[in-house]
Every structure is written in structure tokens, then in C-alpha cells.
Amino acid sequence: MHLVTKSYFDTFCQNFGAAFEFSKNFEAFVNYCVFSKYSADSIEVSDIVYEGADPGIDGAMLFLDDRAVFSEDELIEIFDKSKREYHVSIVFTQAKSSTSWSKMEIDSFVAAISDYLSEFPAQPHSQYLADFKSMFKKLYENIGRVKNGLPDLYAYFLSAAPDTDAVEINAAFIIGQDTLKRLGYSHDTKLFKAHRDVIHELWLGADGPVEARLPTVGYAPFPAAPNINNAYVATVLARSFIDSVLKNSDGTVRKKLFEENVRDFLGVDSEVNTEIAETLREKNRKSRFGLMNNGITIVASSVRPAGQEIFIRDFQIVNGCQTSNVLISLDEQVDPTVSLMVKLIEADEPTVIDDIVRATNRQSKVEDAQFISTLSVLRDLERYFNARGVGELNRLYFERRKGQYGPENIAPVRIFDVRETARCFAAISLMRPDVASRYPNRLTSELLNEVFKPGVAEEIYYTACYAHYRLKLLISNKKFDGRYSKLRWHILCAASKYCRENFKKFDCASKNTAIYNLFSHNEGVWFDRLEKLIRVAIPDPDISRDLLKSPPLTIMILSRVDGVS
């Protein structure tokens, strides 16, 4: 393996606690690189690799817009809650750590996808791929909700080999892509020759800074304000805004732009966006678009004017998600007559950014429940993690705002965003590992007020995150079988009951102290207790994905905890 590839691979394994053998870890590495191209969601290694029958496909992923979906139930829930259309991408991967090319392997990958998508596949499938196939079928039952009438299909053959001009290899990709197109299941269809340089590019783009140069018609600075480094209001052509800010240089839509925006895209035909769309569609009105629209607000770590351009780095669209997505959806309607007003603000103080988010969205009548990133409970949690971290050897970080610790080069395994913290809390405090495992989006939607309830001690959240962090390390370091990774939420739940019932016996002041001690050690008495708890409560880690999401599994595991002496 090339030295640079190995360096990136080793960094991934260390940062994400990859717990498998080499080939499976390499699959996880390249799958993460591809996953990050389509979604800004946080991801667990165990979510993007699978065990069991391998028909020639190493990874399968489904994205609705830039949201990753991992279960049929979650897909049904999304379609039931919203009537809008979604841009759907289906992604397949095949990972090869070899530094040489094989035409036979490329042909086998294409054949595997063709067989997998057929009505009666000949190849056996693991539970993971079987579940994905059920999502595929459910997707086609709702094909009227898919933009362009069909999902896009992207297949990545990822190889650690350098690029090649070999005729037979390049021909295999051309023929393979044509074969996938002729299946008739997809709108845009691509088979990528992802050689090592492509893997490097994907890795660097996964968590790298977002930068753009925005051409303007004209701009003016705002007067100086406390904790605002620079601020400008600019008039821009909507075409320039789409091509420079909303899209990457290759024409793909940028991810991670709307993490600070308080509501998702509601769809072109929603009540909120109908008028925006109609203005773009009508030739006589589109030239007035910039005058009729409230504009876009962008917060960035750096805002620097240069001539008639403004350079922005590490930026987020904090207000204007609806306008931006309508522009993307009606791209072909946006001609040089369409203008737009953009406010660009350079600020790095969290409370200032929160004020901007709240103020700009308050004008759009956004409900308080949608301000997840500005909840006082989350701000208190951030302060607690920071204060607690001063005395911790392995400090944990609570990421209240997406990417806030990006510049500090902190291992992702030690950073807990709102969603991951909610999952840890659900497993240990709510005793709902089934929800944490398979329905994490519920925890930051309908269960939000139950998860982040005012008055709950911050120590509970910290302890839950710490236990999860340590458990991942123990699995990564082979202290426990890697197959337990998918059961980590159930292990946390079992540990919660075990420590609640025994903390006094263990001479601990509280359940939280006992949980902390239980996961803190690599050997000795406390590690022996954890090892025995796992062995008794979950003797067999080979549990189906369907059982993982069921309450009966939790009941069975918790009943076994009573047998741990």
C-alpha cells in the first residue's frame, strides 16, 4: 500500500476506533470516504461495514438528499412525515487494498450489483444487504416522491492501486457503467474508477475546510460591532451563488452547509417555498427575485473581500436553507437576470452565532422547538464537558455546533455531537438501546424534550458518553469481539442496570461513579466485572439487525443482568 494511503488509513483506524481485521477496516475506511461525499451525518464504523455473505459488494448506502438512511422503518417514517420529493442516491462500493488492477474483479462488481438489484438474486446476501434490499423495494413503492422519477445509482470500485491507462481496465469501467444504466433502475448512473488518488481526495474532503470565492455585483461593509470580525452585505447573481457556494467545483451539491440552519428543506411545492419557485419560473418576475426575497445569511470563520469577489472559509448558511434549496432544485430556471442579497458575517464566538441564528430565523416564524443548537440545556452541557475535561486524562468534547472542534485536530472518537450524546443518554438513562441503535433521529425530533430535559444532571450525559467512548476503545483494542460493536447500546443499557443495583456493593458513591469505573480499566477487578457482564448478558454477539431494533431483546438482556454476581 502506498505510504500516503497507509497514513490516511491508519489515521482513520485510530480516530474512529476501527475494530476489525485489516481487510474489513480497509472497507470501513473507503466506505467512510465515500459516505462523507454524500452526507454530513456523523457515522459509526459498524454502520458502514457488515459481516456475513459477500456477493461482491462491500458497502451499500442510501441517501435522501444528504441524509443517510439505514433502516426500512426510518425510510417509511421519512415518507410518512413529509410529502415532498427527495433527491435519492443509492451507493455501492467494492474495496481492494491491492496495488494492482484486475479486470475480472471489476466485472464481478458490476455483475454483483446487477444480480443484487434483480427480482430474484442468485447470490446469497448478508442480513445487512437483505435489509438494504427491503429499503430499495420500499423506495420504489414511493417512486413518485423521488426527484427525476428515479434514484441516482453510484458504484465505486475503490482500489489502492495507482491510476492506469490499461485499455482492458478502462474498457471494463465503460462497459460496466453502460450495463448498470441498462438495468433501468436509475436516473444518473456512474461507475467510478476510484484509484488511490481518488481515495486520497475523498479522505481529504471528508473533514476538510469548506472554501469559496463568491463573485459579487457589489458589496458594502457593515459598521463595526462587538465580537464581529467582518461583515458585508453583497448583491450577487444567483447563478454565481449556486456555482460558487452551493456546489463544489465538480458540480455536486455541497454538504454540511445547513447544519446551523434550524429547519430542513421543506420541498419546492411546500407552502413556504411555492412563491419562491413561482418567481423563478416566470420570465417577467425572475429579474425581481433579489428584491422579493429576504436573502441568505452566511456565518464563516473568515470573510475577506478581494476586488469584486469575497473569499469565505468554513462557512455555514444559517438562514436561507429554503431559498438555497429551491435554487438548487430549479437550477435550469436560474439565468443571469436572477439576483440575490447575501449577508456574510465573520464570527467565531458561539453565543454570537447563536444570536444570529435565532434572530434571522425568528423573522421566518420558526418555532422554538426547532432551535436544537441553541437550547440552554445544550449550552450547559457544553460548559460542563469543558469544565470536566480539564481534569480528565482522555478528555471528551461536546459538539453543540457542527464542526466547532474541526480546527483543533481532535480525534472524532472523543467528540460527541447532539445526536450521539442523545443516543448514549437513551441507552443508559432511558434504557432504550433499541431506539439508540436503529432510530437515532427520533431522539432529536419527537423525543427531544425527553432526552434533553431541563434539570437532568450533566454528569449523566458525560458518564454515558464516557462509557460509550471507552467501550469503543476496548472493542477496537480487541479486548472484546468486534461483533459486539453493533451491540454497544445494549451493553451500555445492561451496565446501567448492573451499576444501579450494585454501586453500593462496589463501594461507589453513585451509579454514575460505578459506570465510570466499570469502563475505565483495561484489566483488573473492574474489567473482569465488565467482561462477565457482557458474557452473561449477551453470550452470543451474532444477533440479527431486526432483533437489534426490538424491545424484546432489551428485556431479555436486562433479565440476564440479574444473573451477574
HEC-encoded secondary structure of 319-363: ECHHHHHHHHHCHHHCCCCCEEEEEEEECCCHHHHHHHHHHHHHC
Query: Residue 499: is its pLDDT beyond 90?
Result: yes
CA–CA gap between residue 266 and residue 263 (Å, rounded): 8
- Copy the grid coordinates of residue 75: 425510510
CA–CA gap between residue 500 and residue 493 (Å, rounded): 11
The SS3 of residue 560 is: helix
Mean pLDDT across 438-461: 83
The SS3 of residue 316 is: strand
Q: How far is CA 111 from the centre of its chain?
A: 29
Phi, psi values for residue 382, rounded to 5°:
-60, -45
Within a 13 Å sphere around the CA of 462, how many CA atoms are in the beta-carbon half? 21
CA–CA gap between residue 172 and residue 160 (Å, rounded): 18
CB 407: neighbour CB atoms within 10 A? 11
Summarize pLDDT for 134-178 with one digit per residue, the tens. Answer: 888 999 999 988 988 999 999 999 999 999 999 999 999 999 999
pLDDT for 123:
86
Helix (H) or strand (E) run with residue 470 in it: helix 458-476
DSSP 56: S
Mean pLDDT across 77-82: 82
Mean pLDDT across 407-422: 84
Query: Residue 263: is its pLDDT beyond 60?
Result: no
What is the pLDDT confidence band of residue 366, given thresholds at 50, 70 and 90?
A: very low
pLDDT for 174:
96
Q: What contacts 414, CB < 8 A, 6 or more positions away? A: 394, 395, 396, 397, 469
Mean pLDDT across 272-277: 79
Residue scoring higher pLDDT (34 or 52)? 34
pLDDT for 407:
61
Show the CA angle centred on residue 46, arms to residues 40 and 52, nearest 5°: 130
Query: Residue 442: is its pLDDT beyond 60?
Result: yes
- Copy the grid coordinates of residue 289: 427575485
Q: Any idea where the domains of the chain sit in the sequence?
A: 3-207, 211-367, 375-561
Scan for cell 461593509, then name that residue: 221
pLDDT for 230:
87
Mean pLDDT across 519-539: 93
pLDDT for 517:
95
What is the pLDDT confidence band of residue 333, given thresholds at 50, 70 and 90?
A: confident
> Domain 3-207: which CATH class?
alpha beta
Under 8 Å between Cβ of 12 and 204: no
Q: What contacts 136, CB < 8 A, 6 or more positions away? A: 62, 90, 117
Query: Residue 343: is its pLDDT beyond 70?
Result: yes
Query: Residue 537: is its pLDDT beyond 50?
Result: yes
Residue scoring higher pLDDT (305 or 321)? 305
What is the pLDDT confidence band of residue 402, given thresholds at 50, 70 and 90?
A: low
Query: Residue 5: is its pLDDT beyond 50?
Result: yes
Q: What is the torsional sign of CA 192, 198, 203, 208? A: negative
Q: Pairing relation of β-strands 189-194 and 152-159? A: parallel
Helix (H) or strand (E) run with residue 312 in it: strand 309-319
Within a 13 Å sphere around the CA of 208, how many CA atoms are in the beta-carbon half? 12
Q: Which of 26-30, 204-208, 360-364, 390-394 has the highest mean pLDDT?
A: 26-30
Largest CA distance in the chain: 78
Within a 13 Å sphere around the CA of 89, how many CA atoms are in the beta-carbon half? 19
Picking from 267-276, 410-419, 427-436, which range would have the lowest pLDDT averaged per residue? 267-276
Query: Residue 286: is its pLDDT beyond 80?
Result: yes
Residue scoring higher pLDDT (47 or 406)? 47
Residue scoring higher pLDDT (130 or 102)? 102
CA–CA gap between residue 297 and residue 316 (Å, rounded): 9
pLDDT for 451:
87
pLDDT for 262:
46
What is the pLDDT confidence band of residue 358, given thresholds at 50, 70 and 90?
A: low
Phi, psi values for residue 415, rounded to 5°:
-110, 130
Query: Residue 272: is its pLDDT beyond 80?
Result: no
Residue scoring higher pLDDT (455 or 518)? 518
pLDDT for 349:
66
Query: Residue 300: is its pLDDT beyond 80?
Result: yes
Q: What contacts 102, CB < 8 A, 6 or more positions away? A: 96
Task: Calculate the average pLDDT of the chain.
Answer: 85
CB 340: neighbour CB atoms within 10 A? 24
